Structure 1
């Protein structure tokens, strides 16, 4: 049962339109998608499991080589239902087994209380924002499966961003901030709390530093959540695809560059 400690659910509890996720690489990150019913999941992928690509050649090589070596101990069996999807990228539809990739099944929570949100110390598991009806969620997911969701970006346009947009229809309207992803917000909040805050100089004790860091982390996560931030607006899914084939956010970025 979904609670404070875990969002794990059983397959029999799934309903079409649910936002689900599964942890990868020993809980380093989670892959997110929308359950479409009949054992199918629509999700946004970078291809070959490279959803956490950073853009740093050396770091990506280290991450993906360790991932490949850990998965190469057994032979890869091609899914009889999905075939080989390892080279696909963009918005795709997979069976639930391929989506989970051997991991457990978790349900992303919407419209949680501020207390529950902060109690979930790990980002990418819940949001204060409310979900739209399942029919709207599935309409967005299916439309984006046909038309795409732009280029994959770990901080601004990742698999969690895709699932949250499908559930809420909310898009970030500024180009300088992180996307909707709670995972990305948590990473940046942790980095800010540990490295960049001048408040770390107010105490020299370990417990004091931990308290300051924890407080900054919680505040940063909270203000970055899609349910409270003000740099978002509701965007119809049909408006995402421009005549040039770019998403609305990409098109605005290109226009800014040209100007």
Structure 2
């Protein structure tokens, strides 16, 4: 992994890799799981769309993304895209962008050195065969409702790689890029009181950067305490019954409720 970039060559791809591609000028990335044979499983709001905030941000992300080919892909055009988890060929997934690999078990110093989130994590990845099983299972069963800040494409890929899921419904998901979007303005707000005691712009900037880095570190899936490891079969059962939230059981994950008859 490079300090400044996780860019890789296609020949370096391995089944089970968590990959991503920038959709704008380093504003938004789309994430997925490479399963081999030039196929990627990824999560969208449905019908192949990649954003779904319901705000002007959607227009920005779509309009500033790389130009896509006008030729219909004979492979990807035949898929059922109803539930949001879809399978695409690598070319369609990249949509004209550059290929990057998301890194796991990174050194904390490297994690903090990254300019923004959404490129690596302190958490460890599970074996490739487990990752591919989760991704293919969710392709057939869905990953719940898409939410830009709580349940997006990066959340999907991180879950496939780790089996970890944020269990408090009112909090932000696992996504590092969501933390970056929120953390920047938060850092600026928290550093504002310094203006009452100093006019040194460099001091305020340094504080804002420190707050931003601290928020990214604390919110990383490898550091959070509001996550549990859930088997993919258990996850889909909980989603089907609307009971994803896990109560405090001393660290144990209670069994999924039986489907309603």
When the two structures are superposed, what TM-score results if normalisation uses the length of structure 2? 0.86
Which residue does the alignment assign to 2:75? 81
Deviations 1:19-70 (A, max 9, x none): 00000022220000000001000000124664333223xx1564267348x8
Provide the aligned length of Structure 1 versus Structure 2.
Answer: 246
Which residue does the alignment assign to 2:108? 114
Would you say the 8 A contact 2:48–2:86 is kept in 1?
Answer: no
Would you say the 8 A contact 1:240–1:248 is kept in 2?
Answer: no
Question: For 2:52 and 2:123, how far apart are their aligned partners in 1?
Answer: 27
Deviations 1:134-180 (A, max 9, x none): 01101110110010000000111000000000000001111222100
- 1:50/1:195 CA distance change after superposition, 3 Å: farther
Question: For 1:96 and 1:143, how far apart are their aligned partners in 2?
Answer: 19
Question: For 1:23 and 1:246, how far apart are their aligned partners in 2?
Answer: 35
1:134 aligns with 2:133: no
Question: For 2:58 and 2:183, how far apart are their aligned partners in 1?
Answer: 25
Question: What CA RMSD, in Å, does the superposition of the two structures yield over aligned residues?
Answer: 2.5
Question: For 2:157 and 2:215, how far apart are their aligned partners in 1?
Answer: 22
Which residue does the alignment assign to 1:249? 244
Q: Secondary structure at the match of 2:244?
A: helix
Bigger mean CA offset, 143-152 vs 186-195:
186-195
Q: How far has the Cα of 1:16 moved from its partner?
A: 0.5
Which residue does the alignment assign to 2:63? 66
Q: 2:173 aligns with which of 165, 174, 179?
A: 179
- 1:85/1:204 CA distance change after superposition, 3 Å: farther
Which residue does the alignment assign to 2:256? none
Q: Secondary structure at the match of 1:98?
A: helix
Which residue does the alignment assign to 2:199? 204
1:152 aligns with 2:151: no
1:91 aligns with 2:91: no
Question: For 1:30 and 1:233, how far apart are their aligned partners in 2?
Answer: 25
- 1:204/1:229 CA distance change after superposition, 3 Å: same
Gaps of 5+ in 2: 248-261
Question: For 1:124 and 1:7, how far apart are their aligned partners in 2?
Answer: 11
Q: 1:194 aligns with which of 170, 188, 201?
A: 188
Q: Secondary structure at the match of 1:20?
A: strand
1:232 aligns with 2:227: yes
Q: How far has the Cα of 1:248 moved from its partner?
A: 4.6
Which residue does the alignment assign to 1:30? 29
Q: How far has the Cα of 1:121 moved from its partner?
A: 1.5
